[in-house]
């Protein structure tokens, strides 16, 4: 036992935090299995888990990058919504074109977020809170207020997209495939030099700047990446439900921040792991499952999630710089 403890203490703090939440996850899974009398661990249920969370995983990874730099992106939900609207709206020009338009719009929003945080030096939560509402309004303007199912001139969503969630490639369902690609890219990002810069900026921006790191570029980049991933989420959304909805994504900001926090990242920046974030998403999902199994009313669940975030942040908040 002593040896194990010693080895634990000598690993980096990032590894320690992942191990901690892994244990929590195992505990929760056992709990869920118990409540569901074994149904939870069946492969069908687990595959369902992936389907339900592909969107959140993709967006949470983007949120993780922003949080590592010490920022936060509350506009992810609205960006998801407007991307879904744009993809459907411009169907008349074909799927690739509509996705391209959505991507350009998302990148533009990301640049606005990044600019205001980096150059005007407004706190990220204020900026993204405001852009969240602005983008949401624009989405409603574009869609006329409600969900849309066809493009401007009546083009329908291609069948292939709708089948996306049902098809597999070499046995792996498409959504999972997409997740794996994004996870791979995120891992590459964190191990690269820009990843190193991202961690440093989150830990101490001034020191990072004086050490020669292009802090402003990196900060702008993470907001743009987050926006781009929201666009991807928007495409996944359309694939799953077949419509563009300006009102979707209300809980995405809260969920993504919760996942990243539970995963061990500190909201003041400088820490964060991909594995942790993924585990965070899974824990959230399991929590949802447990709440459903226990018969908790759906309207109360966001409140409980709010409490969970507070708990997660509280447990992680001991690691602020100074």
Q: Which residues from 124-153 bind another protein, rule CB under 8 A?
A: 125-127, 129-131, 133-134, 136-138, 140-141, 145
CA distances from 110 to 103, 132, 232, 256, 299 (A): 10, 11, 14, 17, 31
For 313, residues 6+ apart whose C-beta sits below 8 A from its C-beta are: 261, 267
Minimum gap (Å) between residue 201 Cβ and another protein: 9
Of these, 62, 77, 173, 270, which contacts another protein (CB under 8 A)?
A: 270
DSSP character for 269? S
From CA 36, how far away is CA 50, in angstroms rounded? 18
DSSP character for 318? G
From CA 204, how far away is CA 222, in angstroms rounded? 16
Stretch of residues binding another protein (CB under 8 A), selected from 58-66, 160-168, 202-210, 286-294:
202-210
Size of the site for another protein (CB under 8 A): 69
Minimum gap (Å) between residue 235 Cβ and another protein: 24
Minimum gap (Å) between residue 26 Cβ and another protein: 26
Name residue 222's beta-bridge partners.
Answer: none
Stretch of residues binding another protein (CB under 8 A), selected from 37-45, 150-158, 197-205, 283-291:
197-205
SS (H, E, C) 124-160: HHHHHHHHHHHHHHHHHHHHCCCCECCCCCCCCCCHH
Site string for another protein, 54-73 (x = CB under 8 A): ------------------x-
From CA 28, how far away is CA 147, in angstroms rounded? 36
Q: Which residues from 85-124 bind another protein, rule CB under 8 A?
A: 116, 120-123
- What does the block give as tokens for 142? 């574009």
- Is 303 a binder of another protein (CB under 8 A)? yes
| Between 183 and 296, CB nearer to another protein | 296
Minimum gap (Å) between residue 177 Cβ and another protein: 24
- What does the block give as tokens for 56? 């959140």
> Which residues of this chain interact with another protein, rule CB under 8 A?
10-13, 72, 116, 120-123, 125-127, 129-131, 133-134, 136-138, 140-141, 145, 188, 191-194, 196, 199-200, 203-204, 206-214, 254, 257, 267-268, 270-271, 297, 299-307, 309-310, 313-314, 317-322
């Amino acid at each position: 036992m002593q040896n194990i403890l010693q080895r634990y203490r000598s690993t980096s703090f990032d590894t320690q935090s992942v191990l901690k939440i892994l244990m929590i996850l195992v505990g929760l899974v056992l709990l869920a299995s118990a409540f569901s009398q074994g149904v939870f661990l069946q492969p069908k249920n687990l595959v369902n888990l992936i389907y339900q969370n592909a969107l959140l995983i993709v967006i949470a990874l983007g949120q993780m990058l922003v949080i590592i730099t010490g920022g936060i992106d509350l506009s992810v939900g609205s960006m998801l919504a407007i991307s879904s609207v744009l993809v459907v709206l411009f169907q008349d020009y074909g799927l690739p074109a509509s996705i391209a338009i959505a991507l350009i719009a998302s990148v533009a929003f990301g640049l606005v977020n990044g600019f205001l945080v980096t150059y005007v030096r407004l706190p990220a939560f204020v900026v993204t809170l405001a852009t969240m509402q602005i983008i949401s309004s624009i989405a409603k303007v574009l869609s006329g207020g409600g969900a849309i199912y066809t493009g401007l001139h009546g083009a329908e969503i291609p069948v292939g997209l709708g089948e996306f969630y049902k098809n597999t490639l070499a046995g792996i369902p498409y959504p999972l495939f997409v997740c794996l690609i994004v996870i791979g890219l995120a891992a590459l990002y964190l191990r690269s030099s820009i990843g190193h810069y991202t961690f440093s900026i989150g830990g101490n921006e001034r020191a990072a700047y004086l050490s020669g790191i292009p802090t402003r570029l990196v900060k702008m980049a993470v907001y743009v990446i987050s926006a781009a991933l929201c666009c991807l989420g928007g495409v996944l959304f359309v694939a799953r439900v077949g419509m563009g909805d300006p009102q979707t994504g209300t809980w995405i900001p809260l969920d993504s921040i919760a996942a990243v926090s539970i995963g061990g990242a500190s909201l003041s920046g400088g820490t964060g792991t991909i594995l942790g974030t993924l585990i965070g998403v899974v824990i959230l999902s399991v929590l949802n499952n447990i709440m459903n199994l226990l018969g908790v009313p759906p309207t109360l669940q966001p409140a409980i999630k709010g409490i969970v975030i507070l708990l997660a942040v509280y447990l992680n908040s001991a690691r602020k710089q100074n």
